[in-house]
Amino acid sequence: MNSNSAGADPIRPDPESTRADLDVPLFALWSVSPRRKAQVISDTAIDSVPRPLYYLLLLASAGIAAFGLLANSAAVVIGAMLVSPLMAPIFGIALALSRGDLRLLRHAAIAEFGGVLLIIGFAFILGLLPFALEVTPEMLARTRPSLLDLFVAALAGLAGGLAMVDERTSPALPGVAIATSLTPPLATSGLSLAFGAYEGAWGAFLLFFANFLTILAVAAAIFILAGFVTRAELGTRVDFLKRFSAAGIGLLAVAAILTQQLVATIDDWRLKQSIVTTIEHALADDPGARLANVIYDQVSNGPVNVLATVNTPRSFSPIKVKAMQQSISENVKRDINLFVRCTITHDVAAAGSANLLPAVNLDGKFVAASVTPNVRMTETAEQTLRELVSHGQTFDLQDVQLVQLPTGPVIVATVSGARPPVPSQVRFAEDTIRKRLGDQTVTLLVSATTTSNVTAKGRVLLGDAQFVPMSAADRTVQQKLEAFGKTRLEQFPSTFVNGLDAAKSGDGWEVRAEVVSAKLLQPADVGMVEKGLAEIAGTSISLSVLTPDGLIVGPKGFTTVQRSVEERFARQLATTTREK
């Protein structure tokens, strides 16, 4: 059949046919019903028109976001994301650019950018109020965008577009609102302006702008691919490029900036890891020392200032800090100024320091730290010394450190007490440490600080005399003995009593005096005083007189404090051995 017989022009296309082709969707990768398309276009147009309710919701969202940021509450910030209607105009702009709808574009742009100014301005005002006192981690997290944020925005825009065009996935829109994070960056920008942090304000706004452009591009692509745009609406390639040129150039510029920031972030992360690793390695041989936090600041064309907060039982010396600083400089190939803030802490368990349980893992269980041999040796020595001190020794163990000398390891124990330990006590402790460590080259060095315990009565010479309850009768006898003893001893020429204590000892009394005399008292002198004390007490008396140079004078002769302690310690060891 000849078509010319119908009167049709064989060269010119039929106008009706051409119009029908232009009304056909450009793409239709998945089926969207005409009813759904009409509903989406209508809803998008309505939601993109700025109305009073729209701005009221934005004010509420801005206030919630600002207070959540100031309170450092992630839950409140998420609430602001759910309330914010700021994403709807973005879809309106995307649809308008795709279809060439200038009226919709004008309404959506006014709604979007008017809302941006409203949120920033309202957050700025809130930031000027007295309760806005400090910058929080929630705010800081939104002032340093990176390329990763662009990827998140792209996925959020994809999810939002799909949820909008497909009614079956519309319930996912609240989750999309959380993922896009539009209002919190703007609120952070306003608060940063109020705080005078202009770089932070720019960083937060850049995060919003990146989210805005990415969601816009992805939403436009979805509208086109879902068949919302006909060939006639799309126009020529030149028309399409004109409509999307500004958004495309902006997106490329933002991507370039965020890529640069991502590279800088990675470099910062590597620098921090090098600093942390070096400091932790330097602390590995220091028992009880753990790195708590590291803050650093890079000065342009200058050194890196590092502040390391360390939990430690003792302060670090400048020499140690200098060595750590040099190690960090060598590792990072940068000049370093290291400042160590020592927070004095001491983890103590029943047996001593508890350096083996420093942390809890995700299972809620203690994690045993891997310690170096030096730390293990120090901890074993400390545990041993604390056990020995707790068994009747009159010392307080203050500190234990390990020093490596050419002759072998030396355990330096710092103790305090009324007198220094005697060699036999040090020898016994050293032998015990060697046995537990299985190392006979270990040497124990005790650094002793002598302390004096003084009450209103005077220096404590016998603890039982001042801190053990007595009957009223015994207390009366004690007072008579102490008064008589002091008076009688000071009757000797140029003799002064610094302190005198009388305490019950079995069926009798023990009396100890500390005297300073120009002439050394003799055993006979002490015997005479002891006899007078016995007459007052009506029972046996044991009197000993101590001199400042460590000499003990008794009725039977002379001895020294050191020898007396040695003999008493030998008796204790013999008793312990028999009991075992």
Q: Identify which of 180, 179, 200 has the alpha carbon closest to the alpha carbon of residue 191.
A: 200
Angle between helices 147-165 and 237-283 (to 10 degrees): 130
pLDDT of residue 221: 85
Position 350 pLDDT exceeds 70? no
Give Cα 388 to chain centroid, integer Å: 36
**Which residues 6+ apart lie within 8 Å of 243 measured at CB?**
97, 100
The secondary element (H helix, E strand) that includes residue 342 is strand 336-344
* Sign of the alpha-carbon torsion through 182, 184, 187, 188: negative
d(CA 501, CA 478): 8
The answer to whether the CB of 544 falls within 8 A of the CB of 564 is no
Q: Tell me which of 433 and 130 has the higher pLDDT.
A: 433
pLDDT of residue 422: 86
pLDDT of residue 10: 39
Question: Considering only the top CATH level, what class is 271-352?
Answer: alpha beta
The residue with tokens 């016995």 is: 534
- Judged by phi (left if over 0) then psi (alpha if -120 to 50, else beta), residue 201 lies in alpha
Q: Tell me which of 188 and 564 has the higher pLDDT.
A: 188
Per-residue pLDDT band for 371 (boundaries 50, 70, 90) equals low
Position 531 pLDDT exceeds 80? yes
Position 1 pLDDT exceeds 50? no
Position 28 pLDDT exceeds 80? no
pLDDT digits (tens, 9 = 90+) for 193-219: 998 889 889 989 988 888 888 888 888
The answer to whether the CB of 136 falls within 8 A of the CB of 71 is yes
Least confident of 239-248, 294-303, 350-359, 413-422: 350-359
Position 14 pLDDT exceeds 70? no
Position 481 pLDDT exceeds 90? yes
Over range 83-88, report the average pLDDT.
85
The answer to whether the CB of 220 falls within 8 A of the CB of 229 is no
d(CA 187, CA 270): 31
Over range 25-31, report the average pLDDT.
50
d(CA 415, CA 421): 9
Give Cα 318 to chain centroid, integer Å: 24
Position 325 pLDDT exceeds 50? yes
Distances in whole angstroms, Cα of residue 120 to Cα of each of 124, 186, 192, 250: 6, 6, 10, 21
Over range 112-125, report the average pLDDT.
93
Over range 539-549, report the average pLDDT.
92
What percentage of the chain reaches a pLDDT higher than 90? 25
Q: Is 458 helix (H, G, I), strand (E, B) or coil?
A: strand
pLDDT of residue 252: 78
Residue 64 half-sphere exposure toward CB, CA atoms < 13 A: 18
Beta bridge partners of 551: 560
CATH number of 459-579: 3.30.300
Q: Identify which of 213, 161, 211 has the alpha carbon closest to the alpha carbon of residue 184.
A: 211
Least confident of 183-187, 271-275, 478-482: 271-275
Query: What is the helix, strand, coil percentage profile of the chain, to 5?
Result: 55, 20, 25
Matching CATH number, 373-451, of 3.30.300.70, 3.40.50.300, 1.10.760.10, 3.40.50.2300: 3.30.300.70
Over range 390-398, report the average pLDDT.
73
Q: What is the overall mean pLDDT for the chain?
A: 81
Position 534 pLDDT exceeds 80? yes
Per-residue pLDDT band for 522 (boundaries 50, 70, 90) equals very high
Per-residue pLDDT band for 367 (boundaries 50, 70, 90) equals low
d(CA 444, CA 331): 36
Tokens representing 475 are 């207390």
Tokens representing 116 are 């941006």
**Which residues 6+ apart lie within 8 Å of 26 measured at CB?**
224, 227, 229, 230, 231, 234
pLDDT of residue 60: 92
The residue with tokens 């209103």 is: 456
The residue with tokens 């390329």 is: 147
Angle at 288 between CA 286 and CA 289, to 5 degrees: 60
Q: What are phi and psi of 337, to 5 degrees?
A: -110, 110
